[in-house]
Amino acid sequence: MDEAEFWTLLERSAEETTDPDYRLTWLTHHLSRLSLAHIADFQLNLEAARRPIDTYAMWGAANQILDGLCSSDTFWYFQPWLIGQGQRLWHHVTQNPDNLADLPAVRVLAGRSHDEWADAEWPQWEELAYVAADAYGRATGQSDGLHEALDARGHRAYADPEPNDQPWDSDSLTEIAQRLPRLARLFPRRQYVTP
């Protein structure tokens, strides 16, 4: 499975439904019918799609949307959600994290309290990271089969953000206004003061 096939499969799941759980079911079913090599390729493509968005710049943008409450775990779950928006939108946001302001799934959250967001609206999709492992397990009956297959390929998996750009203070209103002007307007927040 090459990169184009990865995006096609992911986007086909979105054409079936916008419900994240049903998309996972659909993806698991369709992946489990492919060769084991293709299932492993799906995981590799997913991880490759994480790399350009695994940055402090993107983390700051996610932090702005989430009102300063974006931990490392939350950012890790945000990344597959962003990938799940499809290749065109993912690519648009890789150009500039402030372009998240253009995503319909982000705009629908603006002006609403987190308490009002439906579960399916939250900008996180942790489970996408496990869909290839589930499909591999379904196809082979081995719960750790995908991990072993990727190890055999010499793949180093990572399970936490590893940004490679320059960190910045994503709680500073001045920094936010300079780096993320459109997201700052969509998701204004107060200055948090640490003792």
Residue 182 near residue 101 (C-beta atoms within 8 A): yes
Burial class (CB in 10 A: 0-12, 13-18, 19+), 164: exposed
Q: Where are the domains of the chain?
A: 3-186
**Which residue in this structure is represented by tokens 């928006």?**
85
Exposed e or buried b per residue across 86-123, where buried means at least 16 C-beta atoms within 10 angstroms of its C-beta = bbebbeebbebbbbbbebebbeebeeeeeeeeeeeebb
36-85 pLDDT per residue, tens: 999 999 999 999 999 999 999 999 999 999 999 999 999 999 999 999 99
Count of beta carbons in the 10 Å neighbourhood of residue 171: 16
Judge if pTM exceeds 0.85.
Answer: yes
- Mean pLDDT of the chain, nearest integer: 94
Residue 39 CB-half CA count within 13 A: 26
86-103 pLDDT per residue, tens: 999 999 999 999 999 999
- Extract the tokens encoding 166: 């320059």
- pLDDT greater than 50 at residue 172: yes
